[in-house]
Structure 1
Amino acid sequence: MRKMWSRSAALGCAALVAGACQTMDPAMAGAGQPAPAGMMAQPDAQMQAVLDQLAALGARPVEQLTPQQARTQPSPADAVKALLQRSGRSTAPEPVGNVQDRTIPGPGGAAIPVRIYTPAGTGPFPVIVYYHGGGWVIATIDTYDSSARALTNAARAIVVSVEYRKGPENRFPAAHDDAFAAYQWVVNNTASIGGNPMKIAVAGESAGGGLAVQTAMLARDRNVRAPVHVLAVYPIADGDTESPSYTENAMAKPLSRAGMQWFFQHYPRTPADLRDPRISLTRANLRGLPPTTIVNAQIDPLRSDGEELAAALRSAGVTVQQRTWPAVTHEFFGMCAVVTKACEAVQFGAAGLRGGFGM
């Protein structure tokens, strides 16, 4: 067991489902060259282009900023949009059948904003309750719009993207409570949004990946209908920063070890919260959880979290698929418009979801 600590994704590709995603030249950058300092590998050409554009937009490491400043600076999604503009390509979001913004009841009567994406065609459709990333501190459903759209089309499912509360204004377990409350609302109101109540899954990226897993745990423990599948994309699954990938990718971009330590300062109430099984999932009781798909990036401090979570789930008897994509970084998942491996990862995640839906 590790020692306790002492995204804004981008636009998707409308042709994803057809497998005809138009992307940049996938040739690897710096083949045979040593990895940059603090990174275990050289990003490929497409990933490096996004990182270079993000730097050109003036993005700074979050640990140098206040939460308010971090929420308003350029994101990887902005970098992808700028790359598309530079190449004369459309920056329009990937089309889906319908998009609706609304609010649902949250803990204590507080409203939770959600965005409901419905695929084209006739339902009822399966439903995915989706939690965005941002370390429980930054980013919004707008920042992760591309991931939600991509999953809507690739999984042929309604996606309910949840705008949970964030720290430091709302500390642990506010985001976790909102995540479960949104799932309960979907379970109780599936038909009203055109969904199939027997085919509900949970998914998320980074902090949202952890929220998806803990939601499945709470459903099990509180006798709420269980999700049929969990998709966790580079999830936060342990509350420390001393794993192999934190060491290998200590200075990675857009997420570094110092960046994760910053998030761990602004959401938990005390360091003890980082040992709570809702955050440190690898230490939790994982028995009885639904089949799970985990996506990781090689150049990411959270890679070990995902790999260790997969091992812990298998030890608990849970069916798991886990894959780490080489030469890409944290936040790559929603970048299908400019990163080929993002298209592959979306299809991998969607395949797991469709399997849970019996499709």
Structure 2
Amino acid sequence: MNESNLLQQKPGGLSPIDPEIVQFLAQMREGWRRHPPLSSVSPEEGRRIAEIVREPFRQGGPVMAQTHELSIPTRHGDMRARLYDPGLAADAPVLVYLHGGGFTFFSIDTHDRLMREYADAARVKVLGLDYYLSPEHKYPVALDQVEDTLEWLRSAPLGIDIGKLALGGDSAGGSLSLATAIRQRDKGRSDMIKGLLLNYGGFATDCSDAAEALHGGPDSVMDRAEVRYFIGNYTRVPEDMSNPEIHLLNADVAGLPPAFLVIPDRDIISENSLAMGEKLRAAGNSAESRIYRGATHSFLEAMSMSALAREAIADGAQFVADVLETGAQPARQVASSGHSGKSAQR
């Protein structure tokens, strides 16, 4: 399904942005206005600012029984990680989660509450990875580190069941998740990952003119210039723009684990998630594309104020619980007026 077909499904065209998401965006923009524009500072300073701006949105949420700070050895050096345990016995299922941020920003701290929410709702342990960021560490460093983590987990004493592992992430983290699953398949290890949670994943190296016209511009969450900035940070040479580990719409996606795609319809890269969902299903995979109308890129971070974000998190947690057979039934925390208007493409 392409972007124009998505719009045709909605009488009157483009969905209005959900009012609670509007509130979230206003608060986030106010935070950014207290600092210099990211274009005027170094990536390192930009990350420091991003941590400050995002900090209010990770407050609250479930309290973990235990949280362990880890250092995971990888071929590119030791990588910081964090294991969230909502109070499970040994040999618990695990979700390995990869934060977004265009391969350039954010961390396990900005995504701390989101990972706690998944751990609590799905009844799994969640391992968050602080993979190395671009432009200092370009492709394939982050992807290598995720791959190395899966190998390390085979013998790491973390109290997890390696036979019940799901992999997921948002934006750049969704891209890394899918690329890692393809690598595992190519190495004959496709059975290790039981499911893929792909939250508004970045599956292409650019976006269309139509997507920019609909969702870009100076007041958007993300515009085409930012997409190109992030991809420019991550790639090494022009040929990387078509590399199937980066431009995943070029990849062979046969023989992959079941996937759940969270797709906000007011997102400049939603067209690529829609195309990836179709591509996965055409290749014979189980893949559900669920559209959240009125949601924007990064909307899951609005969980403290948005029923729509909480609904999408519960849906993703249910997918994880199902593929890992935890028996959890995450509650749908949706406002009684119900304005999500979500639709599923199966």
Count of residues paired in the alignment: 311
Partner SS, residue 107 of structure 1: coil
Q: Give how far 1:184 is off.
A: 1.9
Q: Is the contact made by 1:234 and 1:330 (CA closer than 8 Å) also made in structure 2? A: yes
Which residue, 45, 49, 53 being the options, matches 2:27?
53
Q: Which residue of 2 aligns with 1:193?
A: 158
Distance across 2 between alignment mates of 1:77 and 1:63: 18
Answer yes or no: is 1:241 the counterpart of 2:207.
Answer: yes
Question: 1:61, 1:259 within 8 Å by CA — same for their partners in 2?
Answer: no
Aligned to 1:94: 62
Determine if contact 2:206/2:224 at 8 Å carries over to the other structure. no
Q: 1:74 to 1:137 in 2, by over 3 A?
A: closer
Question: How big is the shift at 1:55?
Answer: 1.9
2:336 paired residue number: none
Letter in 2 for 1:180: E
Aligned partner of 1:107 among 71, 75, 80:
75
What is the rounded CA distance, in whole Å, between the counterparts of 2:83 and 2:56 in structure 1?
25
Which of 332, 340, 343 does residue 310 from structure 2 map onto?
343
* 1:15 paired residue number: none
**Counterparts of residues 128-143 of structure 1 (less than 5 Å):** 128-143=95-110
Q: Distance in 2 between matches of 1:334 and 1:71?
A: 17
Question: Is 1:210 aligned to residue 175 of structure 2?
Answer: yes
TM-score (norm: length of structure 2): 0.84
> Once the two structures are superposed, what CA deviation does each residue of 1:152-174 show, in whole Å capped at 9, x if it has no partner?
11111111101111111111111
In 1: Cα distance, 2:188 partner to 2:135 partner? 31
The answer as to whether partners of 1:94 and 1:150 remain within 8 angstroms in 2 is: yes
What is the CA–CA distance in structure 1 between the aligned matches of 2:149 and 2:319, rounded to whole Å? 22
Q: Deviations over 1:266-315 (max 9, x none)?
A: 11112321211111111101010000000011221111111111000011
TM-score using structure 1 length: 0.81
Is the contact between residue 133 and residue 139 of structure 1 (CA under 8 Å) also seen in structure 2?
A: yes
**Residue 119 of structure 2 is aligned to residue 152 of structure 1:** yes
Match of 1:88 in 2: none
Q: Structure 2 unaligned runs (5+)? A: 3-11, 327-346
Given the alignment, which residue of 245, 254, 257 partners 1:287? 254
Match of 2:338 in 1: none
Question: Distance between the aligned counterparts of 1:280 and 1:124, measured in 2?
Answer: 36
Q: Which moved more, 1:61-70 or 1:206-215?
A: 61-70
Report deviation, 1:143: 0.7
| Secondary structure of the corresponding residue to residue 188 of structure 1 | coil
Compare 246-255 and 148-157 and name the one that shifted more.
246-255
Partner residue in 2 for 1:174:
141
1:164 matches 2:131:
yes
Does structure 2 conserve the Cα–Cα contact (< 8 Å) formed by 1:297 and 1:329?
Answer: yes
Match of 1:307 in 2: 274
Q: What is the CA-CA distance between 1:265 and the residue it aligns to? A: 1.6
Superposition pairs for residues 54-73 of structure 1, below 5 Å? Answer: 54-59=28-33, 62-63=38-39, 65-73=41-49
How far 1:61 moved relative to its partner? 6.2
CA distance, structure 2, for counterparts of residue 321 and residue 229 of structure 1: 11
Q: Return the offset for 1:233.
A: 0.3
Note the C-alpha offset of 1:321: 0.8
- From the superposition, tell whether residues 79 and 301 of structure 1 become closer, same or farther in structure 2 (CA, over 3 Å): farther
Q: Distance in 2 between matches of 1:315 and 1:177?
A: 28
Runs of 4+ aligned residues of structure 1 deviating over 4 Å after TM superposition are: 59-65
Structure 1 match to 2:239: 272
Q: Determine the structure 2 residue equivalent to 1:9.
A: none
Give the number of the structure with larger relative contact order, counting CA–CA contacts within 8 Å between residues 6 or more apart: 1
Q: 1 CA distance for matches of 2:172 and 2:262?
A: 13
Q: Distance in 2 between matches of 1:127 and 1:68?
A: 31
Q: Which residue of 1 aligns with 2:343?
A: none
Going from structure 1 to structure 2, the CA distance change for 1:188 and 1:281 (only over 3 Å counts) comes to farther
Letter in structure 1 aligned against 2:162: P
AA matched with 1:193? L
Write the distance in 2 (CA, Å) between the matches of 1:352 and 1:199: 13
Q: Secondary structure at the match of 1:177?
A: helix
Decide whether the 8 Å contact of 1:50 with 1:79 is kept in 2: no
Q: Distance between the aligned counterparts of 2:287 and 2:203, measured in 1?
A: 15
Query: What is the letter of the counterpart of residue 67 of structure 1?
Result: P
Contact kept, 8 Å, 1:226 with 1:290, in 2: the verdict is: no
TM-superposed CA distance for 1:73, in Å, is: 2.2
Give the match's secondary structure for 2:20.
helix
Query: Displacement, 1:78?
Result: 3.5
What do the CA deviations read for 1:292-351 (whole angstroms, capped 9, x no partner)? 000011221111111111000011100011112111211111322111111111111111
Gaps of 5+ in 1: 3-33, 82-90
Q: Which amino acid aligns with 1:221?
A: D
**CA deviation map 1:207-263 (0-9, x unaligned):** 000111111111111123530000010000011222643442122532222111111
Q: Secondary structure at the match of 1:73?
A: helix
Aligned 8 A contact 1:183 1:215 in 2: no
Instruction: Please tell me the residue identity of whatever aligns with 1:77.
Output: R
The alignment partner of 2:271 has SS state of: helix
Question: Is 2:13 the counterpart of 1:42?
Answer: no
Equivalent-residue separation in structure 1 for 2:118 and 2:306 (angstroms)? 16
The amino acid across from 2:71 in the alignment is T
- Amino acid aligned to 1:283: N
Closer, same or farther: CA 55–186 of 1 in aligned 2, 3 Å:
same
